[in-house]
């Protein structure tokens, strides 16, 4: 799966968590994805992708789109979800040379 920065939006009664990951590709594009994570067998974290990318030219717009998507997926928990802004990972170190 690679490296993710994640920020929890909601913890469900069974202990599973709704997570968001925000990334910057370095070229002025920001993307967010939503995940469901729960503790699986042998204390391993099972992570499942819930959505495709929410994309925008600004970080906050991408995060707000993902937040709206999470509210649509889980309307019963919408009022308690953590609102943007969230953590962001700037992406891998650049291999571009000036």
Question: What's the pLDDT tens digit per position in 43-88?
Answer: 888 999 999 899 999 999 999 999 999 999 999 998 899 999 998 7
Contact yes or no for 7/93 (Cβ under 8 A) = no
**Higher confidence at residue 47 or residue 25?**
47
| pLDDT value of residue 3 | 57
Provide the β-strand partners of residue 45: 39
Q: Decide: pTM greater than 0.75.
A: yes
| pLDDT value of residue 96 | 54
Provide the β-strand partners of residue 11: 17
Q: Which residues contact 70 (CB under 8 A, 6 or more apart)?
A: 9, 10, 18, 20, 34, 78, 81
pLDDT at 97 over 50: no
% the chain with pLDDT above 70 = 86
Distance, CA of 69 to CA of 62 (rounded, Å):
11
């Amino acid at each position: 799966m690679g490296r993710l920065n994640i920020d929890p939006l909601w913890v469900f009664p069974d202990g599973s968590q709704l997570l968001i990951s925000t990334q910057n590709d370095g070229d002025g594009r920001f993307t967010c994805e939503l995940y469901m994570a729960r503790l699986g067998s042998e204390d391993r974290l099972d992570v499942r992708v819930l959505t495709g990318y929410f994309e925008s030219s600004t970080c906050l717009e991408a995060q707000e789109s993902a937040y709206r998507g999470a509210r649509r997926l889980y309307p019963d928990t919408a009022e308690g979800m953590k609102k943007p802004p969230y953590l962001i990972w700037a992406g891998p170190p650049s291999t571009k040379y000036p």
